[in-house]
Amino acid sequence: MTLLALTGGIASGKSTISRMLAEKGAVVVDADAIVRDVQAPGSPVLAAIAREFGADVVAPDGTLDRPALGSRVFGHPERLAALNALVHPAVREESQRRFRAALSADPDAVVVYDVPLLAESRGTGEWDLVVVAHAPAQQRVQRLIAQRGLTEAEARARIAAQAGDDERLALADVVIDTTGDLDATRRQVDELWERLATS
């Protein structure tokens, strides 16, 4: 099994790359989806978040009120660190379980761990390859405004809450530059897949 970590800052094009790799047959384990799973209504993680940040971060239907929680942690590094300390261990445990399941199903699988916060969580060093989706911060700000409806200040706060580009790029075995169009990104993904096939 090949275990590949795919990371990148918010709005860097990481999800697009992940989708392209899945189309080629990779098994994608999505860290964001795992985060949602471990924070599901009634989960121990959600209960711990409510204790730490206040019961009003849980919506009336029992789900996590993400905007309410986000307003308390973005721009507040110590609060964000407290949230990560509650969430990351559960995410790590579940991701390991999914890696083992993929290996069990197909010993030759290419497993892509789509993980936005690899640099922040420091990872576990188990990766055969670390791929970083990269676009300059200003372009990512524009994408967040255009695609997600954030204000410029909100977009910059989200970017500032994550590791810096230099820190992320220092982890990279492969950098996929997403500043161009989708075809340019796809060509780089094709090259990566070819590299994986011949390794």
- Annotated binding-site members for ATP: 11-16
56 CA to centre of own chain: 26
Torsions phi, psi for 118 (to 5 deg): -60, -45
Half-sphere exposure of 134 (CA within 13 A, CB side): 19
Separation between Cα atoms, residue 42 and residue 180, nearest integer Å: 43
Annotated binding site: 11-16
Q: In sequence order, what E strands does 35-138 have?
A: 110-114, 129-134
User: For residue 74, what are its two tokens?
Assistant: 């973005």
